Amino acid sequence: MEGPVIQWSRHSLFLEFTDWREDPRRVEFREVPHFEFVLEDELTPGAYQYDGTVEVVDSPLIARLVELGEINAADRKHFHHIIIGFNEI
pLDDT by residue (tens digit) across 3-16? 789 998 888 999 99
Percent of the chain past pLDDT 90, that is, above it, reads: 22
Q: Which amino acid is at 56?
A: V
For the chain, how many residues are written?
Answer: 89
Q: How many domains does the chain have?
A: 1
Looking at per-residue pLDDT, the higher value among 76 and 52 belongs to 76
Whether residue 89 is predicted with pLDDT greater than 60 in this model: the reply is: no
Q: What is the pLDDT of residue 88?
A: 61
User: 21 lies in a domain?
Assistant: yes
Closest CA to 34 of 67, 70, 63: 70
User: 32 lies in a domain?
Assistant: yes
Query: Do 44 and 56 contact (CB within 8 A), yes or no?
Result: no
Report the distance separating Cα 46 and Cα 26, nearest Å.
26
Q: What is the pLDDT of residue 1?
A: 53
Q: What is the pLDDT of residue 15?
A: 92
What domain range includes position 59?
5-84
Report the distance separating Cα 59 and Cα 56, nearest Å.
5
User: 37 lies in a domain?
Assistant: yes
User: 89 lies in a domain?
Assistant: no
